[in-house]
Structure 1
């Protein structure tokens, strides 16, 4: 039996629609922890829109430089559901308590502070594309494509005012190659784009990945794997 072309096109369109954000049914959903609310959206209750105030849609935490005295000299401040401190992520960040108006809007933002010559380690955002703009300093940025495109490496040196985009799901990083601290802001196409830090995934999992798996995958001896896991 052959399906009409219009039926096939409609099926494809429907499958794409289910994979994207649902259309909002109200102007916004300011998140509150109120079990008496009659609306529950994406795991959070909504404040009555008539009670929303301007502060619900404001996030002042990007005003100030952050402490970069850690192993990689890097600190990210997020305006979504995750705060990242090297070498591990901490859930329950500013999204609910500090930026409730962002809920359901499908966008996020981060402030990236780099110490001299330091790095935002290779990582992935599985649910969001990232657009980065450099405010101060000079960054060497890069992402690697999938196996389908032979793991092609795209790199660029960015200076003040430059913008670069990292496609969703690709491994990417930024390195401060200037002669001073650097500052950038990133915008992501998901209110909770997720974070997978590559080194943590392989060498800090709980429980640890079997050493034999990693020695074969990276073609190195087990002493190096043991060292990295330690």
Structure 2
């Protein structure tokens, strides 16, 4: 009788059954992605353990991020990974916020070839400030399954919804503002 061994929640193959396809994906990361399919104007193509089983236990993944003119990868966090981002084309305004109690905001404008690091678990974003030209970046992450929590989606798009009393108090706004935000369609740019 055979039992599947799980490591990090994913099946760990018997080494004698491993094949090249377990470490390969024809991802075509050289091809531009659609940035018009959502309101934020970006498209994240994540290559992780769900797409390449051979990444299990290796502690790495990567993503191609395409940005429309004025597009952004909105504030989000990776609960299980540090990210290092390299701009391949265009310009990006990037930043992150340190944790409590300081909540210090660190930001930079990056040009083609520039690199920026977002520490694990911290809220960060990337924005293409150019109104005419798209931008492209590649990100390496220190986990085979980094996770992504987009802040606005999590707070205002949860199912079921977080009480508008709770959010109105937390954000110091009127309940009708929270109700309006909760009624929006929160875009997912993760593929």
Change (3 A) 1:223 1:181: same
User: What is the SS of the residue equivalent to 1:209?
Assistant: coil
Cα RMSD over matched residues? 1.7
Name 1:57's counterpart in structure 2. 23
Mapped to 2, the partners of 1:165 and 1:43 lie a distance apart of 27
Matched, 1:189 2:142: yes
Alignment of 1:49-198 (within 5 A): 49-61=15-27, 62-69=29-36, 70-81=38-49, 95=50, 98-148=51-101, 150-178=102-130, 179-198=132-151
Bigger RCO of structures 1 and 2 (CA < 8 A, at least 6 apart): 2
Which consecutive aligned stretches of 4+ in structure 1 deviate over 6 angstroms post-superposition?
none
Unaligned stretches of 5+ residues in structure 1: 1-34, 82-94
User: What is the SS of the residue equivalent to 2:153?
Assistant: helix
Structure with a larger share of its residues in helix: 1
State the 1:185 CA deviation: 0.6
Change (3 A) 1:198 1:40: closer
Mapped to 1, the partners of 2:59 and 2:163 lie a distance apart of 37
Q: 1:202 aligns with which of 126, 140, 155?
A: 155
Aligned residues: 180
State the 1:39 CA deviation: 4.0
Deviations 1:29-49 (A, max 9, x none): xxxxxx946644333333332
User: What is the SS of the residue equivalent to 1:186?
Assistant: strand
Q: TM-score by structure 2 length?
A: 0.87
